[in-house]
Amino acid sequence: MSLTESTDHQPRPQPQDGKLTRLLKRWFLRPGRVSFIHTFSRHFRLVELEGDALKTAAWIPGQQIQIGIGAGMTNRTYTPISWNVQDGTTRILVYLHGDAPGSRWMRALRPQQAFDFLGPRNSIDLSDIPEPCVLFGDETCFGLAKALQDTLGGRRTRFIFEVSDLAESRLVLQIVELGEAVLIERTAGDAHLADIESHLRPLASDGAQYILAGKATSIQRARQALKAKGVASSRIRAKAYWAPGKSGLD
């Protein structure tokens, strides 16, 4: 896998947990540590997590984990690409989204650093997705897309992503072997969503299952376009990962 220079900032001092918070974490969270970090580009990282607690977890592709990112019970949610119960490891493909708390924590992350996590928990179950399948999302969904590809073995699966940087996204998708995806660059006022609709509508008559994930407003627009073409709600699975102006939506 290709690596690039890291542009990390120095870790910021973190406030300490009180006695009650430490007790709650022992009750509800499980410990792990970071085994390695690959920096693919300015905004993307592949992170492997390890720990004995991962050996006893029953993960279904598409399920998510919540990782504590600082003092208190603050956490962020990630979709694993893979899970190895024998080795007690899981991998996540992370998109550093702006200057949000999760992105700051991830930039400061180092190998062998300890963390607490909760899950796996239900999100989008990829284990029973029929073919053909179409996934529409954005950079926050690259990990979900890779898990889907590995689950279906790459058969009759199409990926459509709205992205902010075409070159960076194309590089990362090639590294994780999702290079056949359709990439559409974001434009002011979400004018690019009309282009996305033009890619989705011709697929509506092929009986495909649709997975819509990522930005809440983009999911809503894509769902409306599919329903206008007669796609039944039973053929659409949706999960919003984020929305403008909202922190920690998922």
Over residues 35-90, the pLDDT tens digits come to 999 999 999 999 999 999 999 989 999 999 999 887 666 789 999 999 999 999 99
Residue 6 is predicted with a pLDDT of: 37
> In 3D, which of 40, 16, 7 has the Cα closest to residue 177?
40
Residue 5 is predicted with a pLDDT of: 33
Contact 200, 225 (CB under 8 A): yes
Residue 3 is predicted with a pLDDT of: 33
Whole-model pTM: value is: 0.87
Residue 181 is predicted with a pLDDT of: 94
Residue 20 is predicted with a pLDDT of: 46
Q: Residue 134: how many CB atoms within 10 A of its CB?
A: 23
Question: What angle do the packed helices 193-200 and 216-228 form, to 10 degrees?
Answer: 40
Q: Which helix (H) or strand (E) holds 195?
A: helix 193-200
3-state secondary structure of 173: helix
Residues of the chain with pLDDT under 70: 1-28, 71-73, 154-155, 247-250
Q: What is the distance between the terminal CA atoms of the chain, rounded to a whole angstrom?
A: 29
Residue 180 is predicted with a pLDDT of: 87
Buried residues in 143-173 as b, exposed as e (16+ CB within 10 A) = bbbbbbbebbeeeebbbbbbbebeebbbbbb
Residue 7 is predicted with a pLDDT of: 39
Distance CA 198, CA 137 (A): 15
Give yes or no for a cis peptide into 101 (omega within 30° of 0): no
3-state secondary structure of 176: coil
Contact 151, 86 (CB under 8 A): no
